[in-house]
Amino acid sequence: MSNMRSMQPVSNYYIDSNPSSPYIQREDTALTATDADAKTVVSLDTQVSAGGTNFSQGQRQLIAKARALLRRSSIVTTIREEFTDSLLLTIAHRLKTVIDYDRLLVLDKGKLVEFDTPLRLIEKEDGIFRSMCLKSGYFGELEASARAKAERDGLL
């Protein structure tokens, strides 16, 4: 057994470097990652078994994310800068993560249902992506980001 201070990364995870994430809190004495569903609190002194097996995969991802945030990881910046001429497949839990991508592919029950620029998808009145944006509670911010991306790309 070890504790969170000595834990090695146990998961590859696409890092959303948004410090206002509701799942990560930085305190003076501890980092607390909370799994809202399980109501489990993990602190820097929480015991960690080999490979983090006493945590669920989701909890391990949150821990990896928290560690990267504390180290001021530049993985998102690196991915976006170094792979600009590449196809980047991102499976995102947060729409803010992908709203400034060139194209979005939306799946429903494993089937392709939408594929276009974020702005076109968010403007599609009966679209699934638009519905997801509306339900997120961040529609205005997402629409503004999609519009800014389209303007930067000369699409408006």
How does pLDDT run across 120-149, given as a tens digit for each residue? 999 999 999 999 999 999 999 999 999 999
3-class SS letters over the chain = CEEHHHCCCCCCCCCCCCCCCCCEEECCCCEEEEECCCCEEECCCCEECHHHCCCCHHHHHHHHHHHHHHCCCCHHHHHHHHCCCCCCCCCCCCHHHHCCCCCEEEEECCEEEEEECHHHHHHCCCCHHHHHHHHHCCHHHHHHHHHHHHHHCCCC
Q: pTM (2 decimals)?
A: 0.52
Least confident stretch, 1-5, 51-55, 118-122, 123-127: 1-5
The pLDDT-based confidence of 6 (bands split at 50, 70, 90) is: very low
Least confident stretch, 57-66, 94-103, 115-124, 133-142: 57-66
Average pLDDT for 91-96? 85
How many whole angstroms separate alpha carbon 14 and alpha carbon 31? 20
From edge to edge, which strands make up the β-sheet containing 24-26? 24-26, 31-35, 40-42
How many whole angstroms separate alpha carbon 17 and alpha carbon 24? 11
Task: State the Rg of the chain over Cα.
Answer: 18
Give the pLDDT confidence score for residue 71 in this predicted structure.
63
Give the pLDDT confidence score for residue 122 in this predicted structure.
97
Give the pLDDT confidence score for residue 70 in this predicted structure.
64
Give the pLDDT confidence score for residue 30 in this predicted structure.
41
The pLDDT-based confidence of 95 (bands split at 50, 70, 90) is: very high
pLDDT, tens digit, for every residue of 74-92?
A: 776 777 778 778 887 888 8
Give the pLDDT confidence score for residue 93 in this predicted structure.
79
